[in-house]
Amino acid sequence: MTDNLLRIIPLGGLGEVGKNMMAYEYGKNILLVDAGLMFPDNDMLGIDYIIPDFRYLQDKTDWVRGIVITHGHEDHTGALPHLVEQINAPVYATTLTRGLIESKLSRNGLLSKVQLKTIKAGDTAQIGPFQVEFFHVCHSIPDGVGLGITTPAGLVIHTGDYKFDHTPVDGWPTDYAKLAELASRNVLALLADSTNADRPGWTPSERVIDGALRDVFRASKGRIIIASFASLISRMQQVGNAAIDHGRKLAFVGMSMVENAKTARKLGYLEFPDDLVIPLDQALKLPANQVVIMGTGTQGEPTSIMGRLSTGTNRQFDILPEDTVILSSHPIPGNEESVYRTINRLFRRGANVIYENIAPVHVSGHASQEEMKLMLHLVRPKYFIPIHGELRHLRQHGEIARQVGIPEDHIRVIENGQVVEFKDGRMQLGERIPGGYVFVDGAGVGEIGPSVVREREALARDGFVLVTLTMDQDTGRLVDEPEIITRGFIYTRNGDDMLDEMRHMVRSAVERGETHPHDLEQAIKSFLFNKTKRRPMVFVATSQT
């Protein structure tokens, strides 16, 4: 261990979207920034979500001086319940972020175990050898912060998720002055959000949504049903404002949406007159043109309110012909298919559906290319490490840094698990540590590995065939016909020629003395492949009578 060696250890968020988590290590001191989850790809079958692999911390749990959460989105907070079960260190968050974390930890029965510390933009906290200055950033949730981290090895800026919105809904722009002030102290390294690195120009201000909402509200004769993310607090404010202007009441549906709205209102992040928000059952009794209903389900999740409305399986109410549905969101990559399917189904039920392609009812919460250039120019870092994004975004962000004049060898595009070290003011690559996925499925963490997912893939492709044989102990002959069960294979029924043929084949094999289950399984596999060009899993259970 050297005295001025700073190690930056990416545990999540580099080379992927989601499960953000970064460790800053100096001596025997670790500062953790964020602990997020990510949602599985379509081919990670049956997986609920994915958390960072933080095995690296296992034998260093007492090095961790603190955990800073930059803002209240799942991809920055979702792994916290898993993390705090192993690590006992104070968690620093702003008021709103803390409120959202508290709900999450309560649901997991962990709230009493965790020491939460409220910070606000402008504060400085000494966390071990790390002096952390919090500065405000705009994002699609209020009260987000970036970090200026002064270490004995130099000053590092970690932006968190940000955009430069000059007219944010909460009136609180990103803190340019603080960024400039930090820059004046010589920034060793900038770690900045890369999500939109392939989008040219500037991300539009959240304000543009006001106009689009106004147009839709003006044209709607029936109910207005709006789907958004439960964490998009400022979108709730905008919808509330539009509701007031058009004489409508607002009802929230869905646990997370209701809970977050309540938290945000209690903490002063939503300004609603007392009579604006009403319970859903009351809203359903009002004339259709006096109602706005806001819930989740923007990603086409079948069990969400929008998913259920689209399939006519919602308990409390159904789509009516004059309803207008607004999807105030953008499909997360991989969800396009289910999002568009939900939209089509809502149309089929008679709703008029307004989505991003039709009107600007959503904007991104992340900086686009010109904002990235502004950040780089404001901060003027010696070194640059793009974070938060797939590899293609990190590469593109690196390219942008090169364009604004950062020397190529001062830019490092790395992925999770690749440690970067700063020593004597110089950057070098360090060791590689585990940086993979930990699958969470049902009640279990890490019980599902790639081999189980591969089995699920095989089952999903061709299903399985189960053959049960009962043989006479003495003669070795079959006592009964072989019993065949198939699931997910092809449509079969008793009396099927193919099943008959298969029974015959199995019987002949047994009569020839080929009774070992493994051999029979191979024979059945060949038979089925020849007949159907499919490769189901095959199991033979034999027993002797």
Nearer CB in complex with a second copy: 202/539:
539
SS3 98: helix
User: Could you identify the residue written with the tokens 């051999």?
Assistant: 519
Tell me the pairing of strands 249-252 and 464-471: unpaired
Q: Please report, as a single letter, which amino acid is at residue 74.
A: E
Nearer CB in complex with a second copy: 234/324:
324
DSSP secondary structure of 294-339: EE--TT--TTSHHHHHHHT--SS----TT-EEEE-S-PPTT-HHHH
Among 315, 493, 512, 533, binds a second copy (CB under 8 A): 533
Among 468, 507, 522, 525, binds a second copy (CB under 8 A): 468
Q: Which two tokens stand for residue 492?
A: 């079969």
Q: 500 catalytic, yes or no?
A: no
Q: Cβ 215 to a second copy, closest distance in Å?
A: 14
Residue 49 near a second copy by CB under 8 A: no
Among 55, 60, 246, 341, binds a second copy (CB under 8 A): 341
Residue 323 near a second copy by CB under 8 A: no
Q: Name the nearest CA neighbour of 174 among 150, 207, 143.
A: 143
Q: How far, in Å, CA of 138 to CA of 165, rounded?
A: 6
Nearer CB in complex with a second copy: 180/541:
541
DSSP secondary structure of 248-305: -EEEE-SHHHHHHHHHHHHTTS----TTTB--HHHHTTS-GGGEEEEE--TT--TTSH
Residue 344 near a second copy by CB under 8 A: yes
The stretch near a second copy (CB under 8 A) out of 72-80, 316-324, 424-432, 448-456 is 448-456
Q: Which two tokens stand for residue 453?
A: 């997912």
Q: How far, in Å, CA of 463 to CA of 155, rounded?
A: 56
Q: Cβ 345 to a second copy, closest distance in Å?
A: 8
> Can you name the residues that pair with 429 across neighbouring β-strands?
420
SS3 487: strand
| Cβ neighbours of residue 390 closer than 8 Å, sequence gap 6 or more | 15, 16, 17
SS3 148: strand
Q: 518 catalytic, yes or no?
A: no
Helix (H) or strand (E) holding 49: strand 49-52
Question: What is the pattern of x (binds a second copy, CB under 8 A) and - over residues 173-212?
Answer: -------------------------xx-------------
Nearer CB in complex with a second copy: 424/497:
497
Q: Which of 73, 136, 330, 366 is an active site residue?
A: 366
Residue 456 near a second copy by CB under 8 A: yes
Question: What is the pattern of x (binds a second copy, CB under 8 A) and - over residues 88-127?
Answer: ----------------------------------------
The stretch near a second copy (CB under 8 A) out of 133-141, 183-191, 201-209, 436-444 is 436-444
Residue 46 near a second copy by CB under 8 A: yes
Residue 534 near a second copy by CB under 8 A: yes
Q: Which of 175, 193, 441, 462 is an active site residue?
A: 193
Among 303, 491, 493, 513, binds a second copy (CB under 8 A): 491
Q: Which two tokens stand for residue 347?
A: 């149309």
- DSSP annotation of 389 reads E
Q: Cβ 335 to a second copy, closest distance in Å?
A: 9
Q: How far, in Å, CA of 132 to CA of 152, rounded?
A: 12
Give the residues lining the site for a second copy (CB under 8 A): 15, 41-43, 45-46, 198-199, 333-334, 336-337, 340-341, 343-344, 347-348, 353, 355, 357-358, 390-392, 395-396, 415, 441-444, 447-449, 451-453, 455-464, 466, 468, 470, 473, 485, 487-491, 531-534, 537, 539, 541, 543-545
| Residue numbers annotated as active site | 193, 366
